[in-house]
A and B are shown apart, each in its own frame.
Chain A
Amino acid sequence: MLELEFMRLALAAGAIVGVLAPAVGFFLVQRRQSLIGDGIGHVAFAGVAAGILLDVSPVLTALVAAVLGGVAIEALRSRGGTAGDQALALVFYTGIAAGVVLVSSAGALDVGLFQYLFGSILTVTRGDLLLIAILGAIGLATIGLLYRALAGAIVDEEGARVAGVPIERLNVTVAVLAAVTVALSMRVVGILLVAALMVLPVIAAGRVAWSMRSTLLLSMAIGLGSALAGLTISYYADLPPGGTIVLVAAGSFAVLAAARPLRAPA
């Protein structure tokens, strides 16, 4: 398998996304915004359609649309007086409707579109991998630097706000990180399954973790393992890679849910 360059590129892209997606998803799950990745994914679909229509890189237009969608959800939630699920629904349905209209205008309801909807990790090029690596590194570095602030805001948002912590800026940072992750993960698991890779490893890790930090690290390990195992299984069993990766992540939840909680190392 490793002698094939497309598999090496796929495994490398899968590894980066497998680590990044749960790392960002950790903050969404803890803020009870597990479905925000789905909402942003639907806006990214509109971005892909716009890219196809304008003959620009769909990944780039999806990235821009996803960032705008993520920031819009956060703005509606925090300033517009809209409940979190309603803000998500507004952006979610607007995104999918815009995508349908744009795809229809471009006459692009074909295989080219499906690779974004369902993922096409086996067609990742060196150029794609470079983009995924750079943006992935920026995303992980941001989380590394701001982990304490982002985690602290989860613990007690109101208390942090009273003490003058810039909660709005931290929330926007999470929304932008989620948007970047969605745009990067499109090629790996597809828009329809991108949120799953952000959320399932975190939920699985929560079954056995003993602290916030251990939840984050375990979820990244599960995401990485799911991506590599899913790709390997899909190669030998001739299955679609995106769906297989997500099924492995779902399987990890089933296994860990049956396990006893781990204890902190002494």
Chain B
Amino acid sequence: MHVIPAVALEHVDFGYAPGRRVLEDVSLEVREGEFVAIAGPNGGGKTTLVRIVLGLERPASGTALLYGEPAHRFSRRRTLGYLAQRAELGGDAPATVREVVAAGRLACAGLVGPLRRRDRELVAEAIARVGLEEVADAPLRTLSGGMQQRAFIAKALAGEPSVLVLDEPTTGVDVESQESLAALLDRLHSELGVTILYVSHEFGAVERFVQRLVLVRRGIVFDGPPRELPHVWHDPSHAHA
């Protein structure tokens, strides 16, 4: 029996301006429950690729499907969790970790009125999963970069996503925090069975956890287990990769 993949891109082309292709003939299939790293040089099209996967951009040609539905018209959007590149607080207010994570329940809990008890419990669970219970009521901006990223991951988890997309989650985060973030994602992946797309120009921290590594440089130049990656490509951010 053919199982519908979580993500399916077929012969996708995309450009932000005419004549300037960012992605060319990209085909990619991600099965439900996979943990996939999407790597490649800066400007190689990684972020564009996941924006197409999430339906935020529409391909110039080709198809982008989420669970068999066109990504831009996906009917179960609340099952998508997204941590955007350089995720930071949208406002200037001193939002606490709990307030940030509670925003993750917005799509599930409806827009009107306060959160119900079950929603508040899910928020507390998400905070606990990323190990931020001690600082749950502290303003986010008083925490380290790594802790802030954990809070945003907890926000994405609070929505109980089936697909979690993290775009450069370790930018500006020290190596130790990168390692602990990777271990956290590995644990979440095995405990929750979430499909994870992890975008980064440096994938060293997650290399031992991911099942697949996809290198993007306008097209897909490698797709397979990290151990099969040719040695010369081990630093995909290099200009001559």
Contacts and interface: CB of A to CB of B under 8 A. Distances in A.
Interface in B97-123: 99-100, 102-104, 106-107, 109, 111-115
A158 B93 contact: no
A160 B83 CA distance: 10
Contact of A155 (B81, B100, B114, B139): B100
Interface in B75-93: 77-78, 80-84, 87, 89-93
B93 A206 contact: yes
A159 B156 contact: yes
A164 B78 CA distance: 6
Contacts, number: 123
Contacts of B84: 156, 158-159
Given A162-B54, A163-B159, A209 B78 contact: no
Contact of A210 (B80, B83, B139): B139
A145 interface: yes
Interface string A23-40: 000100111100000000
A209 B107 CA distance: 27
Nearest to A155: B103
Which label, helix, strand, loop or mixed, suits the secondary structure of the A interface?
Answer: helix
A60 B82 CA distance: 43
B100 to A, nearest CB: 5
Interface string B50-91: 000011100000000000000000000110111110010111
Interface of B: 54-56, 77-78, 80-84, 87, 89-96, 99-100, 102-104, 106-107, 109, 111-115, 137, 139, 152, 155-156, 159, 165
Contacts of B103: 151-153, 155-156, 159-160
Interface of A: 26, 29-32, 145-146, 148-149, 151-166, 170, 206, 209-213, 215, 264
Contact of A264 (B56, B102, B137, B156): B137
B95 A159 contact: no
A160 B96 contact: no
A165 B106 contact: yes
A30 B87 contact: no
A120 to B, nearest CB: 33
20 contacts: A30-B91, A31-B90, A148-B106, A153-B103, A155-B90, A156-B90, A156-B103, A156-B152, A159-B103, A159-B152, A159-B155, A160-B103, A163-B104, A163-B107, A163-B159, A164-B78, A164-B80, A206-B94, A212-B93, A215-B94
Contact of B94 (A149, A156, A160, A212): A212
Contacts of A212: 91, 93-96, 99
